[in-house]
DNA sequence: GGAACATGATTGAAACGGCAACTATTCCCG
DNA sequence: CGGGAATAGTTGCCGTTTCAATCATGTTCC
């Protein structure tokens, strides 16, 4: 039944898709590079940054994994590394013996505070300040749509 | 001189940035997952796909690395893997003894042709078909701007 | 209550990617 | 022309990520 010929992308669609791929890769790479002087990469910063905003600076592993879009296994490994650096600690999750609560330490919070301005400047320079307010708003709508279309 | 207080992101700016991070990660992850049945990941598909569009199905390593935004080292490793699967071959680059020309094999081309429709459907379902034509156009402009701001 | 199933997290091994060192070639310029 | 600098690519090592298997706890339902 379904046509065997796929619906190819129009010129505009293809340009958009290619620009998204290339631009996205370049952006992530640059943000990672900008974090090297602080001794971490973006995915690690995301973790301690999310923790710093959470109530009591703590989140359950599974919830955190969902927020930062990482596999449970990856978060386990990364959390172990962050723990070794003294930025987070593990504790049993109250009320559910399966859960683990990840908590930001004083040193971890200090690291977030130290890193945030530089990272923020990086995001501004490479993304936000390159766009008009209208583009920023549209980009937010687009990526929210994409994201929502992906949750299950 | 420069203010010590950074210019924080406005609510809209922050929402956009977070949605971009999350949505981008989710999208890339989904596209990778959709390629598993074909025995490759997105970054590998990009390589053989670009080769399939190039004159004589061949490109110089350095040029290809720039196009797909991968480090030379990474491309070397990946090319070796693709070579082992019989999808590409290496040859000296004519006219420049330092260069290496990567060529798509018959089998490699067949693999691209086999994979393209499914991958295309994936990009459509998860990104393109979720957006209005106006959004698609704007997204293209945005990501082109971001990309151009990053060259050099 | 307990068997079957689902969920949360960890583990170890293998695959992948980044970095720095290295080789080979080409370019630049006196 | 020749020596130093730049460019292209590879290599080995090591840190990171994935994958499948595992363990522990929770939930469901007869």
Per-residue pLDDT tens over the stretch B41-61: 999 999 999 999 999 999 999
Structure tokens at A9: 């992308």
Would the pLDDT of A3 be above 70? no
Q: Which of A13, A67, A139 has its CB closest to that of B16?
A: A139
- Beta strands in chain A, from DSSP E residues, in sequence order: 58-60, 88-92, 100-104
Distance (Å) of CA B137 to CA A28, B40, B90: 22, 29, 38
Distance, CA of B56 to C1' of C19, in Å: 33
pLDDT given at position B5: 76
Give the pLDDT confidence of B78-104 residue by residue, as tens digits: 999 999 999 999 999 999 999 999 999
CA–CA dist A71, A62 (Å, integer): 9
Q: Which helix (H) or strand (E) holds A150?
A: none
Would the pLDDT of A152 be above 90? no
**Starting at the edge strand that comes first in sequence, how are the strands of the sheet with B58-60 ordered?**
B58-60, B100-104, B88-92
Angle at A109 between CA A104 and CA A113, to 5 degrees: 150
Which residue of B lies nearest to A8 if distances are taken between CA atoms?
Answer: B120
Mutual angle of helices B133-148 and A133-148, in 10-degree steps: 110
* Domain positions in chain B: 20-147
**Of all residues in chain A, what percent carry a pLDDT higher than 90?**
93
The answer to whether residues B3 and A126 touch, using CB atoms and an 8 Å cutoff, is no
pLDDT given at position A5: 76
Protein-covered nucleotides on strand D (Cβ within 7 A) = 7-12, 16-21, 24-27
pLDDT given at position A53: 97
Residues of B in contact with A149 (CB under 8 A): 126, 130
pLDDT given at position A84: 97
Question: What's the CATH number for B20-147?
Answer: 1.10.10.10
- The helices-and-strands tally (H runs, E runs) of chain B is 6, 3
* A145 min Cα distance to partner chain B (Å): 7
In degrees rounded to 5, what are phi and psi of residue B62?
A: -60, -40
Average pLDDT over residues B24-41: 97
Answer yes or no: CATH 3.40.800.20 is held by domain A20-148. no
Would the pLDDT of A2 be above 60? no
Give the pLDDT confidence of A4-20 residue by residue, as tens digits: 678 999 999 999 999 99
Residue with tokens 């207080």: B5
Q: Which of A9, A69, A137 has its CB closest to that of B22?
A: A69
Distance, CA of B56 to C1' of C21, in Å: 34
Bridge partner residues of A104 (DSSP): A88
Average pLDDT over residues B138-143: 98
Find which nucleotide's C1' atom is closest to A62's CA.
C8
């Amino acid at each position: 039944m379904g046509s065997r010929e796929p619906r190819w992308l129009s010129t505009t669609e293809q340009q958009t898709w290619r620009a998204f791929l290339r631009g996205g890769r370049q952006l992530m790479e640059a943000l990672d590079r900008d974090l090297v002087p602080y001794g971490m990469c973006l995915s690690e910063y995301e973790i301690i940054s999310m923790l710093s905003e959470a109530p009591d600076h703590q989140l359950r592993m599974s919830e955190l994994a969902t927020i930062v879009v990482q596999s449970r296994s990856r978060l386990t490994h990364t959390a172990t590394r962050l723990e070794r650096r003294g930025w987070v600690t593990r504790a049993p999750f109250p009320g559910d013996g399966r859960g683990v609560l990840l908590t930001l330490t004083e040193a971890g919070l200090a690291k977030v505070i130290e890193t945030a301005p530089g990272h923020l400047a990086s995001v501004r320079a490479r993304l936000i300040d390159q766009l008009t307010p209208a583009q920023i708003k549209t980009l937010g709508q687009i990526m929210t749509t994409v994201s929502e279309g992906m949750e299950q």
